Structure 1
Amino acid sequence: MKRWLGWLVAGLIWCTQGAAAETPPQGSLVIIGGALRADNAVVWQRIVELSGGAGARIAVLPTAAGNPERSGGNIASYLNRYGAAAFVVPLAPSLKQRDYRIDAEDAQLAQSIREAGGVYFAGGDQTKITRALVRPDGSRTAVLQAIWDLYQRGGVIAGTSAGAAIMSSTMYDETRSVMDTLSSGVNDGKELAPGLGFIGKDVFVDQHLLARGRFARMLPAMLKKGYKLGLGIDENTALVVQGQRNVEVLGYQGALLLDLQQATVDGATPQFNLSNARISYYDRGDRFELPSGRYIPSADKIDGKVDPLHPANRQPVYSSDILGHNAVLILMERLIDNVQTQAIGIATAAPGEPHPELGFEFKFTRVAESEGYESATSEAYTVLKLRLDVRPLQISQPWYR
């Protein structure tokens, strides 16, 4: 109960202070979906470039990491390999020889961050970041204020995995499986907690998206907190967010945009359900704008718009495990260039999960506003504005003696 009240107080204070009274930040965000490889040069180089180029000072915060020394040192070495002058900020609850509460208020540490060109948040446990950087009353510590000052004047804030989760004003805290989240729901102070809100109050952010089927768990969180837009970034991939919410996709794969602006829920159905949402997949190299959705294709897709009158495929599209690795992307790509206009994906509970009798049907529909763009150099698509409907299913379970 105390923990829940603490999160509630923090959320109320964050809604009434800080960003509400500040001008829009002039800086950039590099939101990485986790598992960023050392050889993903395009992402590392962009962080260095946005931070000021060769020799840029970048503060590495291993705050979320279980082994901060190792994590911080590795990240700093990667950044330096790509031209930065990175340094590690020794601020983490897992650093047993230090008190993170004292470090978070240290004026010298705060000033070193304020004078840097960028900040990089390591992965791990996102609640360690908010615990370390936010005071019990919900106000900003000296270090967090320095990070905001850097962002306000034009610096870059980058983060991977846990460092991506904190980018929105709400983040997942005590996570369960995606299926358990759908069947059991989400609650403030338990599954959901306040993030740091660098991207603003109107966009929800999640990570490890395609690799772990997490697009589905974004939906109940967005409905619970009233988000109309959600960005889900895949592993070894980054979204660069600049200026008036201009977004560019970098790295290995891509990201999903969930749009609930026209979505409805059937309140008479007790289980999770959703109608008339829109789901889009933006591939690497693509650019788009929030919230208008204006799309600029990557160079290999400029002349690759799919002709809906001459689709390449005719086979029905179906997935028996829509929460599986890359399953939602594969289904969307097969549907956008197909004579079929609908595709079905099914989600069911794994052995031992709660509510084995409950499943969900995800129906994807190509509508008038849907568009697809095919790459000229690889078997890759950008898929825009498919309709998404989700309904509960009753699953018959076999019984064994």
Structure 2
Amino acid sequence: MGIKPTHGALVIIGGAEDRDGDCVVLREFVRLAGGMKAHIAVMTAATGHPEEVGEVYIRAFKRLGAESVEVVGTERRKDSECEEGIYTIEQATGIFFTGGDQSRIVEFIKGSPLCDAIRKRHQEGVVIGGTSAGAAMMPDEMIVGGASVSNPSINAVSMAPGMGFLPDIMVDQHFAQRGRLGRLLAALVLHPAVLGLGIDEDTAIIVKGDEFEVVGQGAITVVDESTATHNNLEGLLKDEAIALCGVKLHILPSGYRFNLKTHLPVL
């Protein structure tokens, strides 16, 4: 369970992180990327406004002291074959995916030479970060849409293959702010994963090996569906309510850690 210890850390952000003030979350990403020696590659595949969004992160990361920040633009699939972008990844000590539409990340990057370079650098110890859509794409199966509801149903969530940086986990972002507990529960029932992680805005988990630590202003909602004793999925129609019994829930604010192998908070 969890990423292999030889891999770099993952910084998974719930979106709307502070980029102009203390930048608590982004500060930790830069620190993991090498601090004042950091070479950061900003991946703007998710957004339809790559220049504007890229500039925001160039400014933020440079203000925090990163030595260099370069945008790797992938506005179409063919861009992921570009030697210049691949070279930027090969030199990077931190790779950061911006927000937007997570489906664009998978469509433009997954399975490409650029993707191969990203995975190789991660295996070599480079940190990968992502916010909003850049967080949603982290699992094997990602949430691409759905309703903000309290009660789960089959039509409360839509799913698609993700990038697979964090296997056996389901991630939802903007969690408390948009009331997404119902769709995370629906996702866990429809596409069984070991754990579901709801990440609030301006909040992140830093995953190292089999543990993650919470940083930021909000909290992480951990849903352990592996303890479930019953659901009524069999025979259920699309708009009918899902029943789910025996699920375990943890709410973890900044400073708390959680073991992905034992499914227990580290107190």
Length-normalised TM-score, structure 2: 0.90
1:67 positional shift: 1.1
- Distance between the aligned counterparts of 1:167 and 1:176, measured in 2? 18
How far apart are the structure 1 equivalents of 2:105 and 2:163? Answer: 9
Kindly report which structure 2 residues correspond to 1:91-240, keeping only aligned pairs within 5 A, or say none: 91-92=74-75, 100-134=76-110, 140-173=111-144, 175-179=145-149, 182-185=152-155, 191-200=158-167, 202-240=168-206
Does 1 or 2 have the higher relative contact order (CA < 8 Å, sep 6+)?
Answer: 2
Q: Secondary structure at the match of 1:178?
A: coil
Partner of 1:83: 65
Give the equivalent residue in structure 2 for 1:259: 224
**CA separation of 1:186 and 1:170: change in aligned 2, threshold 3 A:** farther
Q: Considering only aligned residues, what root-mean-square deviation do their CA atoms show, in Å? A: 2.0
The answer for the alignment partner of 1:36 in structure 2 is: 17
- Taking structure 1 as reference, are residues 274 and 195 closer, same or farther at Cα in structure 2, changes over 3 Å only? same
1:288-330: per-residue Cα shift (whole Å, max 9, x none)?
2113134334xxxxxxxxxxxxxxxxxxxxxxxxxxxxxxxxx
Residue 251 (structure 1) shift: 0.8
Distance 1:89 1:184, change over 3 A: same
Other structure's SS at 1:91 match:
coil
Do the aligned partners of residues 219 and 180 (structure 1) sit closer, same or farther apart at CA in structure 2, a change above 3 Å counting? closer
User: 1:116 offset after TM fit, Å?
Assistant: 0.6
CA contact (8 A) 2:214 2:220 kept: yes
Evaluate the alpha carbon distance shift between residue 269 and residue 91 of structure 1 in structure 2; reply closer, same or farther with a 3 A threshold. closer
User: Whose radius of gyration is greater, 1 or 2?
Assistant: 1
Distance 1:181 1:151, change over 3 A: farther
Give the aligned residue type for 2:93.
G
Retained in 2: the 8 A contact 1:64–1:122? yes
1:250 matched residue in structure 2: 215
Please report how far the alpha carbon of residue 108 of structure 1 lies from its aligned counterpart in structure 2 after TM superposition.
2.6
The change in CA–CA distance for 1:254 and 1:211 in structure 2 (over 3 A counts) is same
Deviations 1:78-133 (A, max 9, x none): 011111121111222xxxxxxx2221011231121022101110101111111100
Of the three residues 8, 33, 48, the one matched with 1:66 is 48
Q: One-letter code of the match for 1:88? A: V
Does the CA contact (< 8 Å) of 1:107 and 1:142 recur in 2?
no
CA 1:181–1:288: 2 relative to 1, 3 Å: closer
* Aligned partner of residue 54 in structure 1, secondary structure: helix
Structure 2 CA distance, aligned partners of 1:151 and 1:112?
14
Cα contact 1:33–1:208 (8 A) shared by 2: yes
